């Protein structure tokens, strides 16, 4: 996880001209729309709030004011899907979201997660006991200042607890009106189908990007079943973004940054794709959202997919 966080921080220094948000006041709208669970429409390019916390996703941000500014700017840019978790901070990310945006604008969807505990910076331990998931749901409701969580995701399936008990806990919370839709994270197709025997699964959040496509079968399954697919760590481009790499060359042809092309590729890869690039800087946020303005043709999509 710590390696992932460091890679995220590395991605966004501009080297080429980029699509501008100046003439597009709400560019996220250009990313298209997907209805989570069939009844909760969001613009497909969202924002991931993990990086708003301190080093190792632990503690307060170095600049709380800037974190607040990023969240408010995200909404101004047309983003209406913000993804967070009780473990980010822990608790800090959810608290920042409430401070920045409550009372929430109409149509804003806040997705949060439970199922990972935090013994320290950069450390994550699964905990899926039903009573714990219920407790964390209640605490997220309080921290966010809401009566129902739009999308509540099981952050990891705890191997020490029967999976059906974890899925059942989410089903019960949904029946009680505390959560609207249920999501899973880092799961395979067999696990998704097992969960769907107990509760309706609206989204799946797995690691996926141009350089890491181990979950192609899960993405294809979600596309067929109209389940939202949220690719965490969407900007890990690895060797593809090296000076002589295909991604850098294509970005230069489009007058964009490699990371913007990587996001545009994700958006075109599937209509259920909901990228949530994160950043703690307003400038980087604006650069990320401008990816919604890029138009990648089929030949470029194929070239990127084959690199």
Per-residue DSSP letters for the chain?
Answer: -HHHHHHHHTTT---S----STT-SSGGGGG-EEEETTTEEEESS-EE-GGGSSTTTBS--S-HHHHHHHHHHHHHTT--EEE--TTTBTTHHHHHHHHHHPSPPTT-EEEEEESEE-SSTT--EE---HHHHHHHHHHHHHHHT-SSEEEEEESS--TTS-HHHHHHHHHHHHHTTSEEEEEEES--HHHHHHHHTTS-EEEEEEE--SS--TTHHHHHHHHHHT-EEEEESTT--GGGGSTTSHHHHHHHHHTS-HHHHHHHHHHHH-TTB------S-HHHHHHHHGGGG----HHHHHHHHT-
Active site residue 47: no
Catalytic residue among 47, 88, 208, 215: 88
Q: Are 256 and 16 in contact, with CB atoms under 8 Å apart? A: yes
Measured distance CA(211)–CA(11) in Å, rounded:
13
Active site positions, annotated: 88
């Amino acid at each position: 996880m710590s390696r992932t966080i460091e890679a995220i921080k590395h991605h966004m220094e501009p080297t080429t001209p980029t699509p501008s948000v100046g003439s597009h006041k709400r560019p996220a709208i250009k990313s298209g729309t997907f209805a989570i669970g069939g009844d909760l429409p969001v613009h497909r390019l969202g924002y991931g709030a993990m990086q708003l916390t301190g080093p190792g996703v632990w503690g307060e941000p170095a600049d709380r004011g800037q974190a607040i500014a990023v969240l408010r700017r995200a909404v101004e840019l047309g983003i209406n899907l913000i993804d967070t978790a009780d473990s980010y901070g822990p608790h800090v990310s959810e608290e920042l979201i409430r401070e920045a945006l409550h009372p929430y604008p109409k149509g804003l969807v806040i997705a949060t997660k439970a199922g990972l505990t935090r013994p320290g910076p950069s450390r994550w331990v699964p905990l899926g006991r039903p009573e714990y998931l219920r407790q964390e749901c209640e605490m997220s409701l309080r921290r966010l200042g809401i009566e129902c969580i739009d999308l509540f995701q099981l952050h990891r399936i705890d191997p020490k607890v029967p999976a059906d008990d974890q899925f059942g806990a989410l089903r019960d919370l949904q029946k009680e009106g505390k959560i609207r839709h249920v999501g899973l994270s880092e799961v395979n197709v067999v696990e998704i189908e097992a969960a769907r025997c107990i509760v309706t699964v609206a989204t799946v959040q797995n690691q996926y990007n141009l350089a890491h496509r181990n979950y192609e079968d899960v993405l294809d399954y979600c596309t067929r079943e109209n389940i939202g697919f949220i690719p965490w760590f969407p900007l890990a481009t690895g060797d593809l973004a090296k000076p002589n790499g295909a991604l850098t060359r294509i970005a230069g042809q489009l007058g964009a940054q490699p990371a913007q092309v990587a996001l545009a590729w994700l958006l075109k890869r599937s209509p259920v794709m909901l990228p949530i690039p994160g950043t703690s800087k307003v400038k980087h946020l604006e650069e990320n959202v401008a990816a919604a303005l890029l138009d990648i043709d089929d030949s470029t999509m194929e070239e990127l997919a084959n690199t």
